[in-house]
Structure 1
Amino acid sequence: MVFRKLTTLLFFGAALSQSTATVEKCRCIPEQPCWPAAAEWKAFNRSINGRLLVNAPVAISCYKGPRQDASECALITKHYSNNSFQQSFPVGYSYPLQPDCPLIPFGEEADVRCALGEAPVYTVNASEIEHVQSAVAWAKSANIRLVIRDTGHDLLGRSMGYGSLQVWIKYLRKGIDYHAQFDRGVNRKAATLWKGSAFTIRGGYTWADVYTEAAKRDLLVVGGGTPSVGCIGGWMQGGGHGPATHDFGLGADNVLSAKVVLANGTLVTASSVENKDLFFAIRGGGPGTYGVVIETTVKAYPTQKVFAQTLAIASLSGNTSSFLDTVADIYQGFPELAKSGWSGYGQWTTAAAVPFVANFTTSYTHAFANFRQPRKEAERAFDSITSKLVAKNGSDLFVSISYTETPDYAAFYSKFSGVEPPAGTYGATSGRFLDEQSLLLDRSALMKALETLAGTSKQQTTNVVEMFGAPYGQIGIDGKSHPLSGVNPAWREMIVHHIVARSWTQNTGSASIRRIQNDILYAKGGALQVLAPKTGGYMNENNRLDPDWKRDFYGAHYESLLGIKRLYDPADVFFCPTCVGSDRWEVMTESGQLCRTRAH
């Protein structure tokens, strides 16, 4: 592809054409005469106090060429799989890792050139709101593709875009303000009132930052399960879940107000009485398409003890059918567990690449939390599942069950969820909500789906369980009481969000990659759809190639959200794949250029 051949040797002194003519049907790209001249980029940089960065791939110092540097390559090699390290670069990505400039040993002859590929060409490293406004105005006037980035922690690559200008808000940090009692101000007569504590997150902070502030005051907030996840970007705008979600709701439902830079450059407040339609859209209706969110105010709650269970199961016999039968027992116990206040995260596999539980590669594990039940009642909720596991323990299965009580949410999070995973490998995922009917109505249908999801030993498939039991927790309650929430209505009925994933290595060929992607999207993802045909999936943890992304990610809200998109961004200044309104545009296969579809 031509667009993958653009190297990182783009700098202000490059010989670019002086023409600033726009292209009506397509966004300008560096190879075209309409791309702004070097002098224009320099002038733009001066207007934003030197905040314009020329992007280069993270690993470029390891490649032969003018940017080669042994000490820098050694540093990058050491920390390459660290999320926070990746996020410190304007085009460093936790997921997916850059395929156009993979990490190589210093000075090694590579099969590919180190190129930006789909990463943006320039970045506005915003430290003031005015920088964001200027970036939006510049991209609009120059007819350049604009992308928005908070931390870059995005499975779908929505903050990437060939030949684009990126507005980066990581260093736009104006403080985390605590409100002992939320001042509703003009919201005093609003339908949705909040009388408790709150935090105003003024810029590109991560949940690690906010969790620290909350713990100082014996409070908890609904944030991401991974500390490095950004607070106000795609996580919140796509719905947002974490360990406290079952009892305190989705991240989007916890937003009390927000400040947004619109496509016309104006800064507005979105709340339950100001720009209510925009408030609806950014609270779960998808990121990167209505405006640039630069501030949110979120609810805070008194911290409390948390009772946790960890469960680890491994197959002693190697009998996959028997193991999957046990997994089905656990899945069918989820609704009752949710009724008793349990929720949490787990994963299982029948063919791990390395031992997963003890020395076994066929295993299941989870860490669940209970915020409201006394210990005896909480343990009793597991009796049905436990009795089935104990009957097989030592013969067919290895089973380990343990319980822990932590004095507050901060201690629970630190012990069970606050671990930073390595930056993502190359891979494909698909996810779907499983409601109570799909889990309980037909045991044989559930078993058939699990068998497909398990895959073969060579596929080394991983399955992830996110159990929130929405109808029996705050997600379901908020769905009835919060009309200004744009999250997929399927969230309100889900018991589990099931994610299936496969990975590949840096050296995997394109044909093999396509087979893996098709297997995840159509075979395994298709099995989930057959099991739960009327639900959908969580947009932030899914597959950007999903052909039915409008229904799966947005559900019945899509047309309403599209109307809001048209109102606030009629010229489509904002675009990202699978985001609302994105079907009016397509990326050209050969050039990487973003162009309007023929229908539009």
Structure 2
Amino acid sequence: MSGQNRILVTCVTVLSCASALTIPVRSDISNSNSIPTAQALIPGAKGPAQYQLTQEVLTDLRSKQLNNATIFDFGPSGKVYSSGMCKPAPGDADWPTTETWNELNLLTGGALVSTVPLGAVCFQGEHYDAERCTDILNRWSDPHLHAEDPTSVMNPLYQGATCMPQNAAAGGSCQLGGYSAYSVKINTVAQVQLAVNFARNTGVRLVVHNTGHDYLGKSTGANALSIWTRNLNSIDFIESYSSDASSWTGSAFKLGAGVQIWELLAAANERNVGVLTGECPTVGVAGGYIAGGGMGPLSSKYGLAVDHVLSIDVVTPDGKFQTVDQKNNADLFWALRGGGGGTFGVVTSVTVRTLPKTKIAGLTLSITIGPNGDVSEELFWEAITAWWRRFPAFVEQGSYAYSIILPTGDGGLSWALTPWMVPDMSLDQFKDMTADLRAEWQRIGFNVDLKFFETENFYDAWTTHFPDDTVGVSNLRTASRLIPSENWVNPSLLEDTVSFIQRGVRNGSSLIGYNIRAAPVADAPASATIPLWRDATMFAIVGTMWDAKLPNPEVDNINERITNEWTASLRSLTPGGGTYGNEADVMDPDFQKAFYGYDNYQRLTTIKQTVDPWGLFYAPTGVGSENWEVTDQTGYVLKQTGNLCRK
């Protein structure tokens, strides 16, 4: 190709690329011998940290007379650049030129990906592919499909649902909407550093995207450069951990940022150890999960995931790479564990200690009642209330229950416990613990098939009872609240809590109710996680689905009800309370208190201002997000489809 070469940037997904993307490159810089990947091999470093960006590498770039070498410089200490009130968008004078994007691509070793929405293959145009479209439609609800795509998200509501493949047949359109404009497929620390420096020095919005398992829209954003960490998926087992920053000498895992729960649990099972994770298989352990605190089925016995973190590798907003722990940058170590994802830097790996392998005992049940069924609605609620009343005693013994109550749409109700289980308990002990409840159920005539189970380890219980989520819908939203032990100490408050739940379900809300409390871990360092976890007795998630064909005003009314009626009622029942920020209401009017606690939020704000004076990292409901707004909002729920601007 005379006068101009082209490089091919491939779209790395589970499937083949929707289309080949070509980016024009200046002929005088396209030779990989003259402009090699910008990285230095660090002696003694392992995994992604083997290759880092150093000042020597940057100096060498200048010697090669790279036109835009300075945009990859590290952030100077104490100096703040301002790129104006709004982040640049394509077409703006300060949007990087094609040449500038080319240089980022070259210096990252061809890792830059221009976004082609996953659903684009179903729409007529350059990306249309009938065979791939059929496959994607068949797998759209599969979280693994989205986890292996550089920009797809599992909850497209916050992206704007602008390229839903189901809409193609009816003449719908496919737009980028809230998808990032570009992504860097990360395999090394150097690539993260280059992307961070590029975004900070050009003013481009920056997003951190792992698996796309995200309930608040933190992992996507219009006109953004996305750092895609899913491919940092190494799992290294450490037989005997040793560090002067921790007294822990047992075994540990060092996890790349992209390791998913199913991968870590399988690795732990192979090593005959346990580890604390959540239940959803495709959650990225080292990403937003730990950043938000990290609750899971073992939490009532072993605490939160943050309690077991030994160290964190992170690229901070100045582009520097560091390892933080209790002795090295302890403030940042505190903030990265519970202070929220996409806010303080890009985590490339975490080291977590293991747990003993533990036996599990529990049960499952499922019942649906209708207007003409054998179980009345009164008996249905009486049985559930009998269970709820005993929550404090159950959680003291390490109970974890995942309960779903749904209105069925025909005047009926369904209740499923899938599962209720306790670690370190035999089946006989579990039956003893539940004997009084089961006797009351029998006495009131609530006859339901209880399926008891017992496993020798958590992994077997998890593989049996925690299937993949169903994802990919844009007509679903939830909110949540941690309900403290006080609501069980005060009988009238417990009655009010039960009454609220019953009214909410009758009015169309579903309820996902966990019997859970984060047990204290004696030698765990303090974290930024909201302290209310240690006094919780129930974690309640409310929400609903709506008809996707409803007009926008009706959808807005539903979403306003979720925040201003259902969640407001939960707030009134839990004064001074809060929630789990990873599974919460993006529209919470007081997220600072609800997600973090005011004292924590003040300290987090100070740390944020120290490490990120540029305001480089933004995430909805993240620390400092109150200083920003996303423009062009057309509905009640905040979507990431507009430009990001300072208030």
Quote the residue 1:423 is aligned against. Answer: 471
Per-residue Cα deviation, 1:323-379 (whole angstroms, up to 9, x for no partner): 333322221211111123322311112x22599xxxx74334341222233433322
Per-residue Cα deviation, 1:200-233 (whole angstroms, up to 9, x for no partner): 1133111111111111111110112011111111
Per-residue Cα deviation, 1:405-434 (whole angstroms, up to 9, x for no partner): 1122221111122x1122142211110001
**Pairing partner for 2:197 from 137, 141, 161:** 137
Q: Does 2:171 match 1:110?
A: yes
Asked whether the equivalents of residues 293 and 338 of structure 2 are also in contact (C-alpha less than 8 Å), the reply is: yes
Quote the residue 1:49 is aligned against. Answer: 109
Question: What secondary structure, in the 3-state scheme, does the structure 2 residue paired with 1:123 have?
Answer: strand
Asked whether the equivalents of residues 324 and 450 of structure 1 are also in contact (C-alpha less than 8 Å), the reply is: no
| In 2, Cα distance between equivalents of 1:247 and 1:181 | 23
| In 2, Cα distance between equivalents of 1:286 and 1:486 | 9
Segment of structure 1 superposing worse, 325-334 or 560-569: 325-334
What pairs with 1:132-281 in structure 2 (closer than 5 Å)?
Answer: 132-173=192-233, 175-184=234-243, 186-187=244-245, 190=246, 193-281=247-335
Per-residue Cα deviation, 1:102-140 (whole angstroms, up to 9, x for no partner): 12376x3424x2111111100011111110000000111
| In 2, Cα distance between equivalents of 1:542 and 1:266 | 32
Q: Does 2:441 match 1:389?
A: yes
| In 2, Cα distance between equivalents of 1:583 and 1:407 | 47
Quote the residue 2:64 is aligned against. Answer: none
Quote the residue 2:537 is aligned against. Answer: 495
Per-residue Cα deviation, 1:460-511 (whole angstroms, up to 9, x for no partner): x32101221x2xxxx3423x65452110011111111100120124323211
Displacement after TM superposition at 1:452 (Å) = 2.8
**Pairing partner for 1:377 from 429, 434, 443:** 429
Question: What secondary structure, in the 3-state scheme, does the structure 2 residue paired with 1:380 have?
Answer: helix
Per-residue Cα deviation, 1:536-561 (whole angstroms, up to 9, x for no partner): 01001111111111100001311111
Q: Does 2:380 match 1:323?
A: yes
Counterpart of 2:205 in structure 1: which amino acid?
R
Counterpart of 2:482 in structure 1: which amino acid?
F
Counterpart of 1:567 in structure 2: which amino acid?
T
Q: Does 2:144 match 1:84?
A: yes
Segment of structure 1 superposing worse, 262-271 or 404-413: 404-413
| In 2, Cα distance between equivalents of 1:235 and 1:423 | 17
Distance 1:319 1:138, change over 3 A: same
Question: What secondary structure, in the 3-state scheme, does the structure 2 residue paired with 1:29 have?
Answer: coil
Runs of 4+ residues deviating >6 angstroms = 8-11, 18-22
Distance 1:241 1:323, change over 3 A: same
Counterpart of 2:443 in structure 1: which amino acid?
A
| In 2, Cα distance between equivalents of 1:398 and 1:33 | 70
Quote the residue 2:501 is aligned against. Answer: 450
- CA RMSD, 1 decimal: 2.4
| In 1, Cα distance between equivalents of 2:215 and 2:410 | 23
Asked whether the equivalents of residues 140 and 472 of structure 2 are also in contact (C-alpha less than 8 Å), the reply is: no
Distance 1:62 1:550, change over 3 A: same
| In 1, Cα distance between equivalents of 2:606 and 2:403 | 38
Displacement after TM superposition at 1:398 (Å) = 4.5
Quote the residue 1:558 is aligned against. Answer: 601
Counterpart of 2:458 in structure 1: which amino acid?
Y
Counterpart of 2:230 in structure 1: which amino acid?
K
Asked whether the equivalents of residues 452 and 527 of structure 1 are also in contact (C-alpha less than 8 Å), the reply is: no
Distance 1:136 1:389, change over 3 A: same
| In 2, Cα distance between equivalents of 1:444 and 1:352 | 24
Quote the residue 1:467 is aligned against. Answer: 515
Question: What secondary structure, in the 3-state scheme, does the structure 1 residue paired with 2:614 have?
Answer: coil
| In 1, Cα distance between equivalents of 2:176 and 2:20 | 9
Counterpart of 2:224 in structure 1: which amino acid?
S
Q: Does 2:520 match 1:477?
A: yes
TM-score, structure 1 normalization: 0.89
Quote the residue 1:434 is aligned against. Answer: 483
Displacement after TM superposition at 1:244 (Å) = 1.6
Counterpart of 2:441 in structure 1: which amino acid?
L
Counterpart of 1:466 in structure 2: which amino acid?
Y
Displacement after TM superposition at 1:578 (Å) = 0.2
Identity %: 27
Per-residue Cα deviation, 1:223-252 (whole angstroms, up to 9, x for no partner): 120111111110111011222222122111
Per-residue Cα deviation, 1:23-46 (whole angstroms, up to 9, x for no partner): 421111113121111121112211
Quote the residue 1:342 is aligned against. Answer: 399
| In 1, Cα distance between equivalents of 2:112 and 2:242 | 37
Asked whether the equivalents of residues 144 and 282 of structure 2 are also in contact (C-alpha less than 8 Å), the reply is: yes
Quote the residue 2:134 is aligned against. Answer: 74
Distance 1:47 1:452, change over 3 A: same
Counterpart of 1:430 in structure 2: which amino acid?
A
Asked whether the equivalents of residues 313 and 365 of structure 1 are also in contact (C-alpha less than 8 Å), the reply is: no
Q: Does 2:590 match 1:548?
A: yes
Displacement after TM superposition at 1:275 (Å) = 0.6
Quote the residue 1:576 is aligned against. Answer: 619
| In 2, Cα distance between equivalents of 1:476 and 1:340 | 10
Counterpart of 1:311 in structure 2: which amino acid?
L
Counterpart of 2:615 in structure 1: which amino acid?
D
Displacement after TM superposition at 1:13 (Å) = 6.0
For structure 1, the residue ranges without an aligned partner over 5 or more in a row are: 1-7
| In 2, Cα distance between equivalents of 1:27 and 1:9 | 28
| In 2, Cα distance between equivalents of 1:59 and 1:455 | 36
Segment of structure 1 superposing worse, 254-263 or 360-369: 360-369
| In 2, Cα distance between equivalents of 1:208 and 1:476 | 23
Displacement after TM superposition at 1:259 (Å) = 0.4
| In 2, Cα distance between equivalents of 1:337 and 1:362 | 23
